[in-house]
Structure 1
Amino acid sequence: METSKPHVALLPLPGIGHMIPYLGLGKLFATHHNFKVTIFLVSIDHLSQKQSKTIISEMSNGLFNVVQLPQIDITKLIDPNATMGIRLPVIMREIVPAFRSSIATMKPRPSVLITDIFGTDAFSVAEEFNMSKYVFPVVHAWLISLTIYTPILDKEVKGEYVHQKEPLKIPGCASIRVEDLFDPLLDRTNQQYDEYVRAGIRLRMSDGVLINSWEELEPKTFAALRDDKLLGCVLERPVYPVGPVVTQSSDLSKSGLLFDWLNKQLNDSVVYVSFGSGATLSHEQTTELAFGLELSKQRFIWVVHAPTEESGDKAYLKGRSGDENHDQFGYLPEGFMSRIQNVGFVISDWVSQVDILSHPSIGAFISQCGWNSTLESILKGIPIIAFPLFAEQKMTATMLTEEFGMAVRLEVLPSNKVVGREEIQNKVRKIMVDKEGHGIRDRVNELKYSAEKAMCKGGSSYRALSELAKSFEAHMQL
């Protein structure tokens, strides 16, 4: 008897950076396995809702259904200065009743739920409606290993992690240096620490973990996650390295002032500067970055946003209203826009990052080291100047520089101190001009080949996704 195909429900966290890999995953299920896919959008304000709809219309190509869940107001539930590590879990808990109501009315109902580590409260809905449940955190395997091991560290380590004299050890994996600690681990008395420990515990309630990486990129970590004598005995769930899952670039003949300018530049001659969809810099750091780019005498594209009093984690997900309330680029140094007319292009609107990175004129990327940006850089063969701001970005920057060799790192952490113009100038020229930059470019091209091979038919990620699809189909027959 022929059975119907699985119907996959995707429930990402709010924010463009979380949504984009879920769109990519949905495309893979729809195109490679002919599954029905529904993506449930969680929005915190009208602006984020509008941005999400714009991106989906550009990238989904009508391959799956989209359900917009009601906006969630958590202002009465959290402190106004609450960090992302607090806000995200609260938002995802509060959205569960609306998610349940939506699932209950669907015909046919989804048979699979895939959500992030802070979305696991929705597992109650999955269990009620006999859906298999998976976790797809949009980060690398090294951070997942830390996440599942944190409940054990919580019992074993005395005092604050930041006061430890030795790096935190994760069995079978690279240790975590104190200066690279993931934000929720910086203060064990903070609510975001409790939320993170809870996430590590609940991750093991899933039927499996999808990781946006590939076997050959993090072999040691994946081996530890599966080893019954190491992390496998903690996780006790199958791990599926399905990455790199990114949205592919659209038609490269894109028009508009930005791409018209790019088309006039030489190959590998432009530095792309962007810190993701959610991050902002302080006024002082914005000023130093502007001067650093100017002093480097290299061509650049800078996706700039109005500076805020709060930067990094605290400014994340608070919208872009600040840009609309400023004179156009009036927050940049006096005379900057006129001085860089022939060498720089400054933009504040949302633009498809993967389209920019796909352009042959791009030669380097000043990035906050978000995992989406890292994967896009690898797939396009673009070296990174690591500028980590918050969350897991310090860990990622260390991995990119010390393990992968595809990036250069700043002498100071931007999350701790303002990076000066001379430092920015030197690092830009190191990638774009100095001989050392050639070796870094060769290394990122090796990683690019590895990533492409993993996703091709017969590759490690292709096989992992096929294995996952079979598990979805087997669940439907139970």
Structure 2
Amino acid sequence: MEIMHRPHVALLSSPGLGHLIPTIELGKLLVLRHGFKVTILAITSQTSEAESRILKSAISSINFCDFLELPPADLSGLLENEAAIVERLCVVMRETKGAVRSVLSNMAHPPSVLIVDIFGSECLSIAEEFRMLKYVYVASNAWFFSLTLYSPILDKQVQGQFVDQKEPFEIPGCSPLRPEDVVDPMLDRNTRQYQEYIGIGMGVRKGDGILVNTWEELQRKDLESLRDENLLGGLLKVPVYAIGPLVREPEPPSSSTIGLLGWLDQQPSESVVYVSFGSGGTLSHEQTIEVAWGLELSRLRFMWVVRPPNRGRADSAFFSTGDGSREDDDPSNYLPEGFKERTRKMGRLIPQWAAQASILRHPSVGGFMSHCGWSSSLESITNGVPMVCWPLYAEQRMNATLLAEELRVGVRPKVLPAKKVVGREEIASMLREIMEGKPNPIRERARELRESAAKAMERDGLSRTALDHVANLCCARAAECETHEHQSVLTSPSVSHVSSNLLSQRTQR
């Protein structure tokens, strides 16, 4: 039966699995829990096998949700080949804005709500034109969002490079941020990437509300600041809803996954370390060698998602995750001589990409050596798995500090991996710290947060209540959009004419 005033919600995702997966999970909730019609606009990299795999799986398993894959615009002449990720993402989203507008305006049943991630904030103006309710979905945590929101103020306050400062940066109502933990765009303020990031800090204020993939008990202090008009709420001026943790469910097992899970079935409970540096992270050749030796020295069972070493940048696989076309995909080409043979009984090597959600949920997995991307961090927390925090790029240094020092669910190297190669002895020591000892305080804390996360998502949990409130607002806007006045705006000749022209331009391109 058709729901009265059934909202149609469009979700816009920028390229990258760290953006796409949380968007899909939010779309699932809006459909399954609230009965909404949902259309996901996924702007893809078109070079990532893992991204394509996730999309195909989502499309086949969620046949009640519409997926529109929008290829990124032609950026030739707009970006240098070595453009940084944030710069590239911002330009991609800006140049695809016309295609997004065309798709939305040509839908038979136009959306009444638009939800964008932080890189899509420029598309909020499209929602304003069509009188849509508009939200910014922060797929990361509230402390990171607080920094992003406050970055235009810090831009005026701080003289010189952020990384050269001697004292932590004060963010109203939040934990101070050490200079070495700033997000990538703040590493050099004389770049286009930095200017794009400051623009994001201004753009996110234009939504009607902010949805954050966290929960109240996990980040109460940061969330309270974002709502307090005497603190960060004075900058934001719109409601902030903690709706997480939104994490992906395990995919139906493939033939390769069945083999890995079968190996895990044979291992003792909480005895295996899972090692993965995310969908886009890679290590240098020297650091890859040290991680291998660290695993071997620890004498722990392990499952390691290995990638060929990078040639200069830790984020070099961001737009090509799971690309199996490289000649050096055989780990023997870059791991210590004899490593595979010596560790054959204690470990498993997985080239390029793995079904992480299934692996972390397995009872044999007792630790996670992670790059600290927020999606991976949530998957670890919600399964009660402690972490070795190994940040590589983006906001991962902030995440690692949050996880190790404030939430106390992980340990981290004495010196950031980005600054020096972490030695095998320290790696082995960190692995043993999270895996050994009964009771283990880090493991106990991880279990506490697992229960906290589950409670937030229960029927009367705070995260579920927050999303229910947003859903009610969406229903109210859907009712308004059924009026003749709104329909006349969407079908006016001027809108139709411009939309047709934009769609034609995109087709020609």
Instruction: Please report the TM-score for the alignment, with normalisation by the length of structure 2.
Output: 0.90
The answer to whether 1:216 aligns with 2:223 is no
| Counterpart residue identity of residue 371, structure 1 | W
Aligned-residue offset at 1:159:
2.1
Cα distance in 1 for residues equivalent to 2:252 and 2:88: 36
Q: Which residue of 2 aligns with 1:403?
A: 406
Cα distance in 2 for residues equivalent to 1:142 and 1:50: 31
Q: Which residue of 1 aligns with 2:83?
A: 82
Aligned-residue offset at 1:192:
1.1
Alignment of 1:229-268 (within 5 A): 229-250=230-251, 256-268=258-270
Indicate the SS of the match to 1:10: strand
Q: Is the 8 A contact 1:383 1:407 kept in 2?
A: yes
Alignment of 1:65-214 (within 5 A): 65-214=66-215
Cα distance in 2 for residues equivalent to 1:86 and 1:339: 43
| Counterpart residue identity of residue 112, structure 1 | V
Q: Deviation per CA, 1:395-424, whole angstroms, max 9, x where unpaired?
A: 111111111111011112111111111111
Aligned-residue offset at 1:315:
4.5
The answer to whether 1:433 aligns with 2:432 is no
Q: Which residue of 2 aligns with 1:381?
A: 384
Cα distance in 1 for residues equivalent to 2:329 and 2:217: 48
Give the 3 Å change call, closer, same or farther, for CA 323–274 of structure 1 in structure 2: farther
Aligned-residue offset at 1:318:
4.3
Indicate the SS of the match to 1:365: strand
Deviates more, 1:354-363 or 1:77-86: 77-86
Aligned-residue offset at 1:349:
4.6
Q: Which residue of 2 aligns with 1:313?
A: 315
Cα distance in 2 for residues equivalent to 1:206 and 1:383: 35
Q: Is the 8 A contact 2:282 2:316 kept in 1?
A: no
| Counterpart residue identity of residue 362, structure 1 | V
Cα distance in 1 for residues equivalent to 2:264 and 2:343: 15
| Counterpart residue identity of residue 136, structure 1 | Y
Structure with greater Cα Rg: 2
Q: Is the 8 A contact 2:46 2:71 kept in 1?
A: no
Q: Is the 8 A contact 2:329 2:351 kept in 1?
A: no
Q: Is the 8 A contact 2:294 2:424 kept in 1?
A: yes
Q: Is the 8 A contact 1:24 1:247 kept in 2?
A: yes
Cα distance in 2 for residues equivalent to 1:52 and 1:253: 13
| Aligned-residue RMSD, C-alpha | 1.9
Give the 3 Å change call, closer, same or farther, for CA 176–72 of structure 1 in structure 2: same
Q: Is the 8 A contact 2:72 2:92 kept in 1?
A: no
Q: Which residue of 1 aligns with 2:506?
A: none
Cα distance in 1 for residues equivalent to 2:407 and 2:102: 45
Cα distance in 2 for residues equivalent to 1:249 and 1:186: 36
Q: Which residue of 2 aligns with 1:448?
A: 450
Cα distance in 2 for residues equivalent to 1:122 and 1:219: 30
Q: Which residue of 2 aligns with 1:292?
A: 294
Q: Is the 8 A contact 1:81 1:314 kept in 2?
A: no
Aligned-residue offset at 1:319:
4.8
Give the 3 Å change call, closer, same or farther, for CA 53–2 of structure 1 in structure 2: closer
Indicate the SS of the match to 2:241: strand
Q: Is the 8 A contact 1:247 1:354 kept in 2?
A: yes
Q: Which residue of 2 aligns with 1:469?
A: 471
Indicate the SS of the match to 2:417: coil
Cα distance in 2 for residues equivalent to 1:253 and 1:64: 23
Indicate the SS of the match to 1:312: coil
Q: Is the 8 A contact 1:281 1:307 kept in 2?
A: yes
Give the 3 Å change call, closer, same or farther, for CA 430–469 of structure 1 in structure 2: same
Structure 1: tracts of 5 or more residues without a match = none
Q: Is the 8 A contact 1:167 1:176 kept in 2?
A: yes
Indicate the SS of the match to 2:447: helix
Which of 391, 415, 423 in structure 2 is aligned with 1:412?
A: 415
Q: Is the 8 A contact 2:59 2:67 kept in 1?
A: no
Alignment of 1:268-417 (within 5 A): 268-321=270-323, 324-329=326-331, 330-417=333-420
Identity %: 47
Give the 3 Å change call, closer, same or farther, for CA 87–257 of structure 1 in structure 2: same
| Counterpart residue identity of residue 307, structure 1 | P
Q: Is the 8 A contact 1:305 1:323 kept in 2?
A: no
Indicate the SS of the match to 1:363: strand
Cα distance in 1 for residues equivalent to 2:462 and 2:429: 38
The aligned length equals 476
Cα distance in 2 for residues equivalent to 1:2 and 1:92: 33
Indicate the SS of the match to 1:68: strand
Indicate the SS of the match to 2:39: strand
Q: Is the 8 A contact 1:44 1:73 kept in 2?
A: no
